[in-house]
Structure 1
Amino acid sequence: MIASMTGYAVMSREIPEGSLTLELRSVNNRYLDIQFRLPDEFRLLEPAMRELLNTQLKRGKVDCRLTFIPYANTDLPQKFNEQLLNKLLELNNAVKSALSDAKSLTVADILRWPGILSSDTLSTTVLHESCMELLQATLNEFTATRVREGEKLKNALLERLRQLRQLTTELSPRIPMLLANFQEKLVARLQEAKIDGNDERIRQELILFASKIDIDEELSRLQTHLDEVEHTLLKGGRAGKRLDFLMQELNREANTVGSKSVDAEVSKISVELKVLIEQMREQVQNIE
């Protein structure tokens, strides 16, 4: 399946000590960039959480936010972090030495300091399983949202692909028509100027003109690239980078068609090609 890099999922889980909520959101990015926002009690879980996300995600800027709300009536045995307290007192004295007017930390300040009080029941060892199970469940829903969005992107791209094929089909018969019109005008001008328009001279002029407006190779390459885009979309998987490359190739051929144009209709079709390709390129930027 084609997956979008844009996704969102949030899930909550009740545990004996409180409520866990995990939120995943992502936007497009060239590489995989995961940012974590975790409570202090869960900091040690970050490597394991990152490893799990890496197994299912390959591209995108991902924000992982975990919140924990303890139950107010939960009577948990508390531990006092004496090492952190000593460090706070050292810093407090250092600030007081530098700034005589600075206020000292109060008991309330110290007790509210992150990490100064911890609970045996809230250790990362005990909570690890619940948190990782919640992450896996949220990741499954998150991946599903990206796949659903990717399916919409694929259908939109296939529709624009159909329009591009229609435009290239309209281009093919215009070149012989342009050559026929040029030959008629050339013969008429030579006759008006009373210049001998022998077949060889006309043939040489036609060959020169045809070489300038010939877009058969460009149309052939356009068709090849369109076939490859369709194949890549239908094959699925992580196709974003390949599709982005193909958009560049399509745009290059459309530009060449426009630069060779000596006909208003060909120029118009060339512009429409480039508009559609740019629309596709913008959508491809969101594909993983």
Structure 2
Amino acid sequence: MVHSMTGFGRSVKEKGDFHVTVEMRSVNHRFSEVSIRMPRHLFYCEDKIKKVIQRKVSRGRVEVYITITGESIVQRSLHVDWPLVDQYIEALTTMKEKYELNDDIQVQHIIGQQNVFDIQEENSENDVLVELVLESVEEATAHLVEMRKREGEQLTIDLHDRLEEMKTVTSRIETQAPHVVTAYEERIRKRISEFLSGNIDENRILTEAAVFADKADISEEVTRLKSHIQQFAETLEKSEPIGRKLDFIVQEMNREANTIGAKGNDQMIAKAVVDLKSLIEKMKEQVQNIE
């Protein structure tokens, strides 16, 4: 089943004092890439979060936003730089004696000094919080995948429609191809007849027509194009990630269309090739968004 690479998922969960919100959105990308923004005290479980997502999402850029509220998320502690306090007191005492100051040294003279006090955050692994975060990521990922699946279904319908149009255009080319050599032979015959006043060398005409037929032969290109159309349709039915394979097939389709246009040497075929390339370009845009 085709999955789009565009999607959105959200999950909100609570347990105890913790409230976790996870939002994720995905866009098309050549490879798999997961970018996570979350409180730094959860950095230690980033790999676990990525593994949860990558079990379900094999291609695309996924941006994840995790917010957490609640008590006891981070343990804070007050640290006093006692050696620095000693130096401040020593300096103040020396200043008082040197300048014969009457004021006593007070606590407020110390606490306002820079770097005396430091509040440190200690990140402790909280199994309950991590479990809640992973559950939220799992749920948000499921919602993301469901949206990618729905968009993939619409892409599949559109691509099948394009394939049917390609079959019709290719059939027109295949039907017209044999008439190209006949028309060329008639033009040659007419020109030689006019130039030689009716004296026609039949062998020369047949030789010219044979050379032209060889140069303008597009039967192989048409056969390969029909094969690519069939491969594309079969690939759409696979349950594995197929975006890269479809992208390759589209490139091959475009290559055959270009060759047909260069060799066809016919106005009707040239118009059909324009229609083909327009269809292929639209399919290419859609394929760029398939996982």
Counterpart for residue 94 of structure 1: none
Are positions 1:179 and 2:160 aligned together? Answer: no
Are positions 1:17 and 2:17 aligned together? Answer: yes
Counterpart for residue 93 of structure 1: none
Counterpart for residue 159 of structure 2: 157
CA distance in 2, matches of 1:77, 1:24: 22
- The code of the aligned residue for 1:127 comes to L
- The code of the aligned residue for 2:228 comes to H
CA distance in 1, matches of 2:216, 2:74: 83
CA distance in 2, matches of 1:23, 1:50: 14
Where in structure 1 do 4 or more consecutive aligned residues deviate above 6 Å? none
SS for the counterpart of 1:151 is: helix
- Structure 1 counterpart of 2:265, from 262, 271, 275: 262
- The code of the aligned residue for 2:76 comes to F
**Paired residues of 1:6 and 1:146 also in contact (CA < 8 A):** yes
Q: CA deviation at 1:54?
A: 2.0
RMSD of the alignment, in Å?
A: 2.4
Are positions 1:217 and 2:220 aligned together? Answer: yes
Counterpart for residue 80 of structure 1: 76
Query: Identity, % of aligned pairs?
Result: 33
CA distance in 2, matches of 1:106, 1:230: 72
CA distance in 1, matches of 2:74, 2:267: 81
Q: CA deviation at 1:202?
A: 1.6
Counterpart for residue 98 of structure 1: none
SS for the counterpart of 1:204 is: helix
**Paired residues of 1:45 and 1:124 also in contact (CA < 8 A):** no
Q: CA deviation at 1:259?
A: 0.8
**Paired residues of 2:74 and 2:121 also in contact (CA < 8 A):** no
The 3 A distance-change label for structure 1 pair 25 and 105 is farther
- Structure 1 counterpart of 2:243, from 227, 234, 240: 240
Runs of at least 5 residues in structure 2 that lack an aligned partner in the other structure = 85-112
Once the two structures are superposed, the pairs formed by residues 7-86 of structure 1 within 5 Å of their partners are 7-70=7-70, 79-81=75-77
Q: Structure 1 stretch 238-247 or stretch 16-25: which is displaced more?
A: 16-25
TM-score (norm 1): 0.83
Q: How many residues align?
A: 260
Q: CA deviation at 1:28?
A: 0.8
Counterpart for residue 89 of structure 2: none
SS for the counterpart of 1:237 is: coil
**Paired residues of 2:217 and 2:264 also in contact (CA < 8 A):** no
The 3 A distance-change label for structure 1 pair 105 and 275 is farther
Q: CA deviation at 1:214?
A: 1.2
The 3 A distance-change label for structure 1 pair 190 and 80 is closer
TM-score (norm 2): 0.82
Counterpart for residue 135 of structure 1: 137
Q: CA deviation at 1:183?
A: 2.1
The 3 A distance-change label for structure 1 pair 81 and 265 is farther
